Amino acid sequence: RGGEPAKEIPFAKPNSLTKVYAVASGKGGVGKSSITVNLAVAMATSGLKVGVVDADIYGHSVPRMLGVTGTPTKVEDMIMPPSAHDVKVISVGMFTPGNTPVVWRGPMLHRALQQFLADVYWGDLDVLLMDLPPGTGDIAISVAQLLPSAEILVVTTPQQAAAEVAERAGAIAAQTHQQVAGVIENMSYLPCPHCGEHTEIFGSGGGEQVAEALTTTLGARVPMLGQVPIDVRLREGGDNGQPLVLTDPDALAAKELRTIADKL
Ligand code: ADP
């Protein structure tokens, strides 16, 4: 279908009421996908219509974390996304057979993202969350081109080294003229299950540091949205497709994630 003109992206229309957030991180393993999934479910349980685009081509893990079992279906010329916990999801993983690693190059990624946004039947969404690959790669630039109004959410750990690369991922917004909605610090501390004492496994201050640096770089206040603690149940929930905000809403991490979702 090479010569066909690309379809219009509904979220890119000036009168679109959908808030789009691109969730970014400097490096992998900081919990970007876990945060995306829990925020999505928290928003859905508060009555919002939510969709997630899993654009993390290298580590597409959103369907597993959300417990999506369905697959996309085709109705006329639209792709119907499967859903779980009232969240509609589309993932690069749904279009690669088995666990075949994705080796697409820039232009193909751009095309895939364009399709995820334009050819998928999302309906009227209040919020669309996009889980980006870590770093400042092609996808981040494609998002900026396809959806200039998308705001960036930066996920980091408190660790110095992670914060420095997260800063760079957020600073791309200065070049693309996008807004950074805020910084989320994940794995901020481990609360002792017996006495409640906090152990700062990955140090402290990374989130604050990224928020301050981006505020300076962008010349606009970038807030620190919250600090999510380490919780074994959050990891287990990701492995089982049962997000913590649903299974253990009273857990410290779940409460923090809800507070962050309410701010967005
Ligand atoms: P990323 O998307 O940044 O690569 P993931 O969301 O896949 O990161 O998280 C990496 C690993 O860390 C996963 O196994 C996930 O379950 C776990 N994890 C993420 N955040 C937390 C947390 N706050 N507490 C415990 N485990 C976490």
For 10-63, the DSSP string reads: GGGSTT---EEEEEEESSTTSSHHHHHHHHHHHHHHTT--EEEEE--SSS--HH
Q: What pLDDT score was predicted for residue 180?
A: 94
Is residue 14 a part of any domain in this protein?
Answer: no
- Asked if residue 49 belongs to a known ligand binding site, the reply is no
Is residue 148 a part of any domain in this protein?
Answer: yes
End-to-end CA distance of the chain: 38
Ligand 1 pocket, residues with Cβ under 6 angstroms:
25, 28-34, 59, 61, 186-187, 228, 230-231, 234-235, 238, 253
Q: What pLDDT score was predicted for residue 1?
A: 47
Strands 180-186 and 83-84: unpaired
| Closest-lying ligand 1 atom to the alpha carbon of residue 28 | 4
CA atoms within 13 A on the CB side of 91: 29
| Dihedral sign of CA atoms 135, 39, 185, 215 in order | positive
Strands 224-228 and 151-156: unpaired
What is the 168 CA–ligand 1 centroid distance (Å)?
21
Is residue 86 a part of any domain in this protein?
Answer: yes
For 71, the domain range is 21-263
DSSP 162: H
- Asked if residue 28 belongs to a known ligand binding site, the reply is yes
What is the 72 CA–ligand 1 centroid distance (Å)?
26
Asked whether 147 and 117 are in contact (CB, 8 A), the reply is: yes
| Closest-lying ligand 1 atom to the alpha carbon of residue 35 | 6
Is residue 43 a part of any domain in this protein?
Answer: yes
| Nearest partner of 30 among 244, 223, 187, judged by Cα | 187
What is the 214 CA–ligand 1 centroid distance (Å)?
24
Is residue 12 a part of any domain in this protein?
Answer: no
Is residue 3 a part of any domain in this protein?
Answer: no
| Closest-lying ligand 1 atom to the alpha carbon of residue 34 | 6
Who contacts 3 (Cβ-Cβ below 8 Å, separation ≥6)? none
Counting the structural domains of the chain, the total is 1
- Asked if residue 32 belongs to a known ligand binding site, the reply is yes
Collapse the DSSP code of 84 into the 3-class scheme (helix H, G, I; strand E, B; otherwise coil) and give the result.
Answer: strand
CA angle 230, 254, 185 (to 5 degrees): 50
Beta bridge partners of 190: 199
- Asked if residue 61 belongs to a known ligand binding site, the reply is no
Instruction: Write down the number of H helices and E strands in the chain.
Output: 9, 12
- Asked if residue 27 belongs to a known ligand binding site, the reply is yes
Asked whether 168 and 75 are in contact (CB, 8 A), the reply is: no
pTM of the predicted protein model: 0.94
Q: What pLDDT score was predicted for residue 171?
A: 86
Asked whether 152 and 180 are in contact (CB, 8 A), the reply is: yes
Is residue 51 a part of any domain in this protein?
Answer: yes
| Nearest partner of 123 among 65, 183, 81, judged by Cα | 81
Strands 198-199 and 190-191: antiparallel
- For residue 174, give the CATH number of its domain: 3.40.50.300
Asked whether 227 and 11 are in contact (CB, 8 A), the reply is: no
Average pLDDT by stretches of 10, the chain with 264 residues: 71 92 93 97 98 86 94 92 97 76 72 91 96 82 89 95 88 88 97 92 95 94 97 97 97 97 97
What is the 34 CA–ligand 1 centroid distance (Å)?
6
Is residue 124 a part of any domain in this protein?
Answer: yes
